[in-house]
């Protein structure tokens, strides 16, 4: 039963009239009164774009209550229903199961899921099946721990375990987003990792990242300059990754018609599966987006277009590779070039550190943009992240330490103390 129908049924029972027309009028008037009271006494309903958000938003109560007191909805009607349901104390979501919550978190329509969401559901059904029919309102820590214990008993790989944890994290995000009262799923997972997994199989408590996965500003500059002086598809592809922050699959799926260099942006709406080489008509998180180009990115894109035009190839794609079976560039070629040329010849490293991966170019973009003063929300939109937390994960451990240290201003605590003591010292000296 939809939330709107539940609200209508609740208000109809509240009304003690018998005439259907009068009941309908009462329901509409009651809805309008609740919304009007909310808007006048709590907050207005904000259209998409307000404060940089992409949804209809409003405060649920005058006091903060998750998400800084905001609730969200994709349509105005959905938001209004959530407001009314809250004031009528309707807890419709308490009845949904854990599996249903995951389906809602992934989009809500299992029959039309794309490849990635479908795999997530399959992974949940395989590894967390005992949680499927548990109601969210009745979910306990012991339920989650028992499910994870059963998974660990099968000795999965670290990747498979983390992918299963992703299912639970998506459910946690959905509950927070929809203001559903449920146990702190993330806290349970974190405690499980620290207590249960230490020393077992491949996993230990997450330790501090000691090596900088992103290129420093000097390294990135050397790589980009090398690409402009020695243009080829591989070198230019790495320069594009560093200056635009695209995912490797998004860059490999980029067509000439998607580049609007005169308008200063690239249209990202498809990606290549880097394992199967299959072209997908969607991107991760369904974040089809315009990636705007900085001045240095425009220079690299123009150089790449110039090199591509000289090739006189009829392929629609920007990056080609005559050595591949289908004639286009794939991730393997970029990865090999980073290890064999960038790591050794351009940067001059040997075996003292591992070569960086194409995805580390994306970390480099996020880090250097942040160090240059670009707002974190802008970087998030450029990279196609669903929330700022994902962007922080790229920046938190990869910002060049020396540059970060040089930007710290300090509170001048000792300076103020010394200044306040100066008259006393002068008095002592006078004596």
Q: What is the pLDDT of residues 215-242, one digit of tens each?
A: 888 999 999 999 999 999 999 999 999 9
Phi/psi of residue 66, nearest 5 degrees: 60, 150
CB-CB neighbours of 81 under 10 Å:
21
**Residues 331, 335, 340: CA angle, nearest 5 degrees:** 150
More confidently predicted of 61 and 338: 338
Phi/psi of residue 384, nearest 5 degrees: 80, 25
More confidently predicted of 411 and 1: 411
Is residue 219 within 8 A of residue 356, CB to CB? The reply is: no
The candidate with the shortest Cα–Cα distance to 185, out of 174, 169, 198, is 169
Percentage of the residues of the chain whose pLDDT score is greater than 70: 84
- Please give the structure tokens belonging to residue 334: 């970029």
**pLDDT band with cut points at 50, 70 and 90 for residue 402:** low
More confidently predicted of 400 and 253: 253
**pLDDT band with cut points at 50, 70 and 90 for residue 307:** very high
DSSP 3-state percent helix, strand, coil across the chain (nearest 5): 60, 5, 35
- Please give the structure tokens belonging to residue 244: 């635009």
| Extended strands (E) in 324-369 | none
Strand 259-260 versus strand 279-280 pairing type: unpaired
Distance CA 193, CA 206 (A): 9
265-268 sheet: strands from edge to edge:
259-260, 265-268, 289-292
DSSP 210-239: -S--SPPHHHHHHHHHHHHHS--HHHHHHH
Q: How many CA atoms lie within 13 A of 332 on its CB side?
A: 8
Instruction: State the chain's maximal CA–CA distance in angstroms.
Output: 98
Rounded to the nearest integer, the mean pLDDT of the chain is 82
Is residue 164 within 8 A of residue 212, CB to CB? The reply is: no
Averaged pLDDT, 135-145 = 86
| Domain definitions of the chain by residue range | 3-90, 95-196, 217-406
More confidently predicted of 190 and 68: 190
Averaged pLDDT, 192-218 = 62
User: What is the Rg, in whole angstroms, of the alpha carbon atoms belonging to the chain?
Assistant: 27
Lowest mean pLDDT among 74-88, 358-372, 401-415: 401-415
Is residue 244 within 8 A of residue 233, CB to CB? The reply is: no
Averaged pLDDT, 6-28 = 84
With 70 as the cut, is the pLDDT of residue 404 above it? no
Beta bridge partners of 290: 267
Is residue 250 within 8 A of residue 289, CB to CB? The reply is: no
Q: CATH number of the domain at 217-406, out of 1.10.40.30, 2.60.40.1220, 3.40.640.10, 1.10.443.10?
A: 1.10.443.10
Write the burial class of residue 273 (CB in 10 Å: 0-12 exposed, 13-18 middle, 19+ buried).
middle
H-only helix segments in 16-55 = 20-41
């Amino acid at each position: 039963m939809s939330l709107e129908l539940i609200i209508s049924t609740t208000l109809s029972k509240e009304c003690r009239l018998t005439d259907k027309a009068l009941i309908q009028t009462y329901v509409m008037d009651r809805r309008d009164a609740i919304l009007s009271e909310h808007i006048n006494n709590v907050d207005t309903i904000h259209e998409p774009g307000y404060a940089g958000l992409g949804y209809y938003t409003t405060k649920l109560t005058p006091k903060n209550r998750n998400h800084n007191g905001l609730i969200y909805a994709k349509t105005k009607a959905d938001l209004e229903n959530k407001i009314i349901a809250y004031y009528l104390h309707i807890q419709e979501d308490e009845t949904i199961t854990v599996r249903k919550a995951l389906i809602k978190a992934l989009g809500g329509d299992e029959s039309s899921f794309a490849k990635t969401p479908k795999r997530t559901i399959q992974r949940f059904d395989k590894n967390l099946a005992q949680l499927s029919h548990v109601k969210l309102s009745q979910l306990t820590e012991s339920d989650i721990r028992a499910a994870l214990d059963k998974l660990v008993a099968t000795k999965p790989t670290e990747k498979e375990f983390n992918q299963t944890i992703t299912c639970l994290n998506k459910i946690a995000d959905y509950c927070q987003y929809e203001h559903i009262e449920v146990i702190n799923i993330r806290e349970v997972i974190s405690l499980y990792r620290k207590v249960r997994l230490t020393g077992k199989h491949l996993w230990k408590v997450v330790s501090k990242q000691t090596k900088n996965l992103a290129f420093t500003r000097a390294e990135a500059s050397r790589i980009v300059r090398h690409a402009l002086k020695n243009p080829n598809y591989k070198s230019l592809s790495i320069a594009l990754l560093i200056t635009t922050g695209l995912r490797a699959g998004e860059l490999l799926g980029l067509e000439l018609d998607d580049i609007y260099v005169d308008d200063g942006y690239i249209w990202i709406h498809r990606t290549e599966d880097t394992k199967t080489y299959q072209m997908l008509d969607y991107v991760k998180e369904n974040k089809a987006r315009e990636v705007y180009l900085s001045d240095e990115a425009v220079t690299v894109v123009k150089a790449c277009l110039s090199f591509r035009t000289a090739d006189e190839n009829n392929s629609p794609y920007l990056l080609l590779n005559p050595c591949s079976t289908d004639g286009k560039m794939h991730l393997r070629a970029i990865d090999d070039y980073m290890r064999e040329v960038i790591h050794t010849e351009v940067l001059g490293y040997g075996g003292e550190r591992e070569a960086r991966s194409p995805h580390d170019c994306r970390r480099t973009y996020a880090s250097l943009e942040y160090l240059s003063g670009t707002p974190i929300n802008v970087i998030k939109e450029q990279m196609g992240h669903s929330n700022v937390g994902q962007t922080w994960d790229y920046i938190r451990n990869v910002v060049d330490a020396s540059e970060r240290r040089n930007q710290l201003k300090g509170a001048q605590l000792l300076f103020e103390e010394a200044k306040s003591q100066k008259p006393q010292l002068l008095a002592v000296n006078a004596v």
